[in-house]
Chain A
Amino acid sequence: MMWLFKDANYPFLRFKNWGYAISIGLTLLAVAVVVVRGGLKYSIDFTGGTLMQLEFDEPVESQALREALADMEELKSSEVQRFGDINDFVIRAQVPPGQENAFRDRIEAQLRGAPQLEGKNFRVVRAEAVGPKIGDELKGQALRAILYAMALIMIYVAFRFDFKFGLAAIIATFHDIVMSVGIFALVGKEISLAVVAAFLTIVGYSLNDTIVVFDRIRENLRSMRRESYAEVVNTSVNQTLSRTIITGGATLIVLLFLFFMGGSVIHDFAFALLIGILIGTYSSIFIAAPLVLEWHRRFEEGRAPATGARKTKVGARR
């Protein structure tokens, strides 16, 4: 039998303050990055505008493409970006609604006639245009979706466990989302519809992880009647540690393949899931479980009939 963590008994709770510090620090860093960058970078799904993806027959320098488009006034605010494959480029721009097609036609004409791109054939393989109204609507919808999901899950967890578990789970999940968004801002990636979908999936996954730990805490609270609350929590985290790491690992295996080989279109989507699952795994151990203990210490200690007169020292510290 092969053990990843044989009889694990790491004093995780001893590091909880480190966990809090790191998380709060990173969260503040994430917020700072977003503020410094002047807000999040949204894709045209949310801002409205137009996008076109060009596929050249042969490799092209992005500089050549930028030069070819240099004298187009509207492109001042737009972006020319290599996309995945070295022959692919994406051009994004904000164009008044209704003029997206004309704009794309002009770019095409400009590129076909550009001396810098002489002899390089290309095709438009993707074209998108989103009206500003739709963008605003989608933004609202995305935000509502994430909030609804969190609220529903909190209610479910509170119902199945009790309120402090629900609260801890939701704080941990919220933390995961904020950190993921922060990392997106840090690396300068855009928040698109697909990325929001990935964030929602992270909500589900991260909670899944957290609940496995909570489930064990609940079970151990019944069977480990003599240990302190802190010991119960710590033991539970340790008992579920292999599972947490193995499941996280299996999911990471597929996501790494998806990220590196899944193609340009879902690259960012895979990236969002990848960081979300890493953060989600971390937060179940270092945020969610300690928060339950924290709540217990602050509000329930000394009057918790179900758990009897528990001491609340961290077991490992004895």
Chain B
Amino acid sequence: MRRNIQIRWLIVGLTILASAWFLWPTYRYYTMSPDQRAALQERDSNEWDRLTEGAIQLGLDLQGGMHLELELDDTGNSFTGEEQSDAIDRALEIIRNRVDQFGVSEPLIQKVGDDRIIVELPGIQDEERAKTLVQQAAYLEFQLVVDGQDAIDQIRAVDAALAGRNVRAPAEPAAGADSSAASDTTMAVTADTAEGQSLEELTGAQETAPADTSGVAELAGGGDRPLSSLLQTIPRGSDQNDFLVPDNRVADVEAMLADSAAQLALTPGYEWLWSGEAETFSDGRSYRSLYIVHAEPLMTGEAVATASAGFDTQFTSQPIVSLELTADGAQQFADITRAHVNERLAIVLDDVVRMAPNINQPIANGQARIEGFEAVEEARDIAIVLRAGALPAPLRIIEERTVDPSLGADSIDSAKIAGLLGVIGVVAFMIFYYRASGLVADVALLLNVVLILAALAAFGATLTLPGIAGLILTIGMAVDSNVLVFERVREELALGKTVRAALDTGFDRALVTILDSQITTLIAGAVLFQFGTGPIKGFAVVLTIGIVSSIFTAVFVTRTIFMTWLNKFSPTRLSI
């Protein structure tokens, strides 16, 4: 008997020691100030890794951050099963690469099912940026621009095709006071760039060129020239024209170009592409450029060895991305630039023309650059995605959840208070109702909380808000086992049994009930774990661990305490 008790205490002691061991990193991590954390990370990255891996991590709902679920967008590509699985694996690798370079601490990037990826980025501040980084296909293409008469012919052909189908340029969206200001659009654009001319003037077509080529009349009318009526043509250099579309008409033009007749009118092998950001001219209106390019790229991102962000030091001091080409790429680029001097080469990223510079002379040094970034962050992100490589196919975001760190902190604070008050309430109730025995149950209860946290740390589980709720719920439910035992002991005492006999019978009889009843909650927890994602899974984990550990503490630990007490004092009364 005595020996039996010693073994029991040994088990209890070892459990407590193990808990302390597993909880130590958590304690250390969360008592460190941010400065101390930064200092440790700097000083000893190995120890830092051990610390962060050992500590209980907080879920995104508690520490703030972004959860994304992405799906391979296979419209346009028809993947076979194997190709798809391969594409997802590559996408996973590339995203991991990008996120690492972006510098997010403790990201989680993981494949779910056959065609989905979950990305969790804790502590992300700029969600827009992070999303672009993860999602961007980063497919870089160098495509030759179709210029000169050829381009004008294309537009006329599309005009004719559209007119033949009675497609008209829709009236300009009502812009209120704006419409009067729009009347001198062309003039303003002209003043800003070179001399602006409508397409009709350029081609010498006389028949419909309205006297008032500028402003509302031209934009809204168009008659048999639905497309070109929406274009502002800005000549650049000898044989090249920029075609500008007012930002608010881009959708109209896109609709026209998508028309089947319009598509047939375009010479096969050509395609339409847009510039990215709209540019504001001195007339106060913003325009996007429309390009006709050769669909077949002359070179792709595969030729890029590395990319880095910086500033243009020579002229504009604008942010740029410098591309360093591979040996093959440099050769290819030299050939291309030699063959196409005085033509424009569009640098196209994900089907958007970043820039379309004129090739002034052959470039043999294997260097290229991309300009036109709003901010250096954008340049930096583009450099990252170009370095990490292109995704095999674009990814579509199908689920997104972002929590601000401040909301997470509020949640933790509220949950802490609720949990603390809950524990105090239950502990007080147990002492009030079961007296000394209640105190024993309370010891078990608190040990139970410690065990759950230790188990979370040991399994590397993440604590989420529902997880904390689960922990608090477990506090309420964990007393169940002790209540079962104590009620049984009371019954036995009422039957006139001795304290020792009553405790023995109470524990033995109650154990069957406890196991039977807790196993059902365990089944629910397991199903919940299977079903849930993220926060819900966290809840399931805590609930499941809580049940197992509560059986240990409420049955094994409390019984050990009672056995010791019986042996030491051989009591005749039990405070229960």
Collect the chain A residues with CB atoms within 8 Å of residue B419's CB.
Answer: 254, 257-258
Selected from A1, A100, A255, A266, the residue in CB contact (under 8 A) with B465 is A266
Which chain B residues (459-512) contact chain A, with CB distance < 8 Å?
Answer: 465-466, 469, 472-473, 475-477, 479-480, 483-484, 487, 490-491, 509, 512
Once the chains are docked, how many angstroms separate the CA of A124 from the CA of B402? Answer: 10
B304: min CB distance to chain A, Å: 29
A149-B523, A246-B483, A251-B476 known; A53-B418 Cβ under 8 A: no
A74-82, A130-138, A225-233, A286-294: which one contacts chain B?
A130-138
Q: Which chain A residue lies CB-closest to B481?
A: A247
The majority secondary structure among interface residues of chain B is helix
The answer to the question of A107 belonging to the interface, with a C-beta cut-off of 8 Å to chain B, is no
Once the chains are docked, how many angstroms separate the CA of A17 from the CA of B423? Answer: 38
Inter-chain contact B536/A243, CB cutoff 8 Å:
no
Collect the chain A residues with CB atoms within 8 Å of residue B400's CB.
Answer: 100, 127-130
A53-B407, A212-B517 known; A263-B429 Cβ under 8 A: no
The answer to the question of B530 belonging to the interface, with a C-beta cut-off of 8 Å to chain A, is yes
B18-26, B184-192, B409-417: which one contacts chain A?
B409-417
Selected from B397, B479, B527, B530, the residue in CB contact (under 8 A) with A250 is B479
Chain A interface extent, by class = 35 or more
Once the chains are docked, how many angstroms separate the CA of A149 from the CA of B531? Answer: 10
Annotate A201-245 by CB proximity to B: 1 below 8 A, 0 otherwise.
Answer: 101110111011001100100000000000000000001101100
Collect the chain A residues with CB atoms within 8 Å of residue B411's CB.
Answer: 263, 265-266
Collect the chain B residues with CB atoms within 8 Å of residue A125's CB.
Answer: 403-404, 406-407
The answer to the question of B433 belonging to the interface, with a C-beta cut-off of 8 Å to chain A, is yes
Collect the chain A residues with CB atoms within 8 Å of residue B469's CB.
Answer: 258, 262, 266, 269-270, 273
B16: min CB distance to chain A, Å: 24
Selected from B69, B396, B425, B535, the residue in CB contact (under 8 A) with A257 is B425
Selected from A2, A53, A253, A266, the residue in CB contact (under 8 A) with B422 is A253
The answer to the question of A249 belonging to the interface, with a C-beta cut-off of 8 Å to chain B, is yes
A19-27, A30-38, A113-121, A151-159: which one contacts chain B?
A151-159
Which chain A residues (249-291) contact chain B, with CB distance < 8 Å?
Answer: 249-255, 257-258, 260-266, 269-270, 273
Collect the chain A residues with CB atoms within 8 Å of residue B480's CB.
Answer: 208, 243, 247, 250
The answer to the question of B264 belonging to the interface, with a C-beta cut-off of 8 Å to chain A, is no
The answer to the question of B171 belonging to the interface, with a C-beta cut-off of 8 Å to chain A, is no
A53-B407, A128-B401, A257-B422 known; A263-B519 Cβ under 8 A: no
Collect the chain A residues with CB atoms within 8 Å of residue B520's CB.
Answer: 153, 156-157, 204, 207-208, 211
Q: Which chain B residue lies CB-closest to A206?
A: B520
Q: Which chain A residue lies CB-closest to B512?
A: A215
Once the chains are docked, how many angstroms separate the CA of A171 from the CA of B512? Answer: 23
The answer to the question of A145 belonging to the interface, with a C-beta cut-off of 8 Å to chain B, is yes
The answer to the question of B61 belonging to the interface, with a C-beta cut-off of 8 Å to chain A, is yes
Inter-chain contact A204/B404, CB cutoff 8 Å:
no
The majority secondary structure among interface residues of chain A is helix
A89: min CB distance to chain B, Å: 13
Interface centre among B422, B475, B524 (most CB of A within 10 A): B524
Collect the chain B residues with CB atoms within 8 Å of residue A133's CB.
Answer: 398
A253-B425, A261-B414 known; A55-B406 Cβ under 8 A: yes
Inter-chain contact B539/A160, CB cutoff 8 Å:
no
Once the chains are docked, how many angstroms separate the CA of A246 from the CA of B484? Answer: 10
The answer to the question of A194 belonging to the interface, with a C-beta cut-off of 8 Å to chain B, is yes
Once the chains are docked, how many angstroms separate the CA of A194 from the CA of B469? Answer: 11
A155: min CB distance to chain B, Å: 9
Q: Which chain A residue lies CB-closest to B484?
A: A243
Annotate A149-184 by CB proximity to B: 1 below 8 A, 0 otherwise.
Answer: 100110011001000000000000000000000000
Which chain B residues (285-320) contact chain A, with CB distance < 8 Å?
Answer: none
Which chain A residues (100-114) contact chain B, with CB distance < 8 Å?
Answer: 100-101
Inter-chain contact A258/B472, CB cutoff 8 Å:
yes
Inter-chain contact A197/B536, CB cutoff 8 Å:
yes
A216: min CB distance to chain B, Å: 8
Give 6 A-B contacts (CB < 8 Å), ordered by A residue.
A126-B404, A197-B536, A200-B524, A239-B491, A242-B487, A257-B421
**Residues on B facing A (Cβ under 8 Å):** 61, 69, 127-128, 131, 396-404, 406-407, 410-411, 413-415, 417-419, 421-423, 425-426, 429-430, 432-433, 435, 465-466, 469, 472-473, 475-477, 479-480, 483-484, 487, 490-491, 509, 512-513, 516-525, 527-528, 530-532, 535-536, 539-540, 543, 576
6 smallest CB-CB distances across A and B, nearest first, come from: A263-B414, A204-B524, A254-B422, A251-B476, A204-B521, A145-B531
Q: Supply 10 further A-B pairs (C-beta < 8 A) apart from A127-B402, A201-B473, A201-B524.
A: A4-B433, A145-B528, A200-B524, A200-B528, A209-B517, A211-B516, A253-B425, A266-B415, A266-B466, A269-B469
